[in-house]
Structure 1
């Protein structure tokens, strides 16, 4: 079930969402979420285009890129909590940590495979009309891939450490909502431990496939 849900997100467009916030907090003022996303999306795409190893699928270099640019700047805890929905409160603190770690690993491995696909895509940003007082923002874009426009939106929250991405939207489907139904079904049938096992099994499959 989780494998089917990955299909809409295993693309270059998904990668841009979380990698998009990372380097901007090093390269530009993070007080504006749209400026942050614009700066970093362009920089990440240029970096991958210039690296033949990553384009060839060098997992070590891609994973290093993902870990350096995603982990400090994406709120995986919030992403996981939203995806779990009402079932989050059914999990113990230890289970919550395991689910967050496994879900994070799943997404990172997914993005690592997608980064190698970056080539000649172009990103168009729609006007952002937020204010300085906003603590939550949605940055709307579309990615032009071989002439076809693909909707790609980002949800960010403003924290003490700056803006963090916690959700992405591809073609009208938010990542957290796509996983919520799957997680709910698993909890209903197998309990919270069923989610942990499902994520661990999927991560194991991905690791074996790339070994």
Structure 2
């Protein structure tokens, strides 16, 4: 499954709504967090003509404010790289995390402008007070199209709930990247994977500048 297609367009918009204040995030359950903040941000994007018009600065501001603080990108990168993560030095791990985060954020920024009239259905979430890992299920609905399931995997830390994986239409985001990452490592080692991610980021940046 290619995550640079319509499901990602829908997913990335939801992702943009997942960052409330740190204190509120720590107090809210993961299901309430996803529901309340997503609904709030939906209203913002519907009313923001700059985002709808593709203003790159406004989109970056939204992504920086709403996405980055609430995702555990290091854990996402570790899961996507898989066993090869252990062979990377601390410096290489930091570069991998930074490059993967940049790739995801730039992809989400490009896709944000394509939000139109989707609605979100939030499925019931069952978890106990002692649970540290929870799956929050949602479904994206759009007229004339089949609903798309988007499930968030969240883990509780001292900083509150953070997303470490997203499952779109039954496919894990981090697992989706794992095979291509492994291929890059086999052909060029950890440095080869870093170079590949950085090249993708340069291509996305050039695309944004042309648009």
* Coordinate RMSD, CA, aligned: 1.8
Normalising by structure 1, report the TM-score: 0.92
Deviations 1:165-204 (A, max 9, x none): 1111111111000001111111111111111010010000
The question of 1:201 aligning with 2:199 is answered yes
**Aligned position for 2:130:** 133
Q: CA deviation at 1:72?
A: 1.3
Q: 1:109 aligns with which of 91, 100, 106?
A: 106
1:85 aligns with 2:55: no
Residue 73 of structure 1: how far off its partner (Å): 1.2
Q: Where do 1:66-77 residues align within 5 Å?
A: 66-77=63-74
Residue 156 to residue 24, structure 1, CA distance change in 2 (3 Å): farther
Once the two structures are superposed, the pairs formed by residues 56-205 of structure 1 within 5 Å of their partners are 56-147=53-144, 148-205=146-203
Distance 1:25 1:143, change over 3 A: farther
Match 1:6 to one of 1, 4, 7 = 4
Higher mean C-alpha displacement, 19-28 vs 114-123: 19-28
Structure 1 residues 68 and 125 mapped into 2: Cα distance closer, same or farther (>3 Å)? same
TM (normalized to structure 2)?
A: 0.92
Q: Distance in 1 between matches of 2:163 and 2:53?
A: 27
CA distance in structure 2 between the aligned counterparts of 1:20 and 1:75, rounded to whole angstroms: 15
- Structure 1 segments unaligned to the other structure (5+ residues): none
Q: 1:119 Cα shift? A: 2.0
| Structure 1 residue runs of 4 or more that deviate by more than 3 Å after TM superposition | 4-10, 24-31
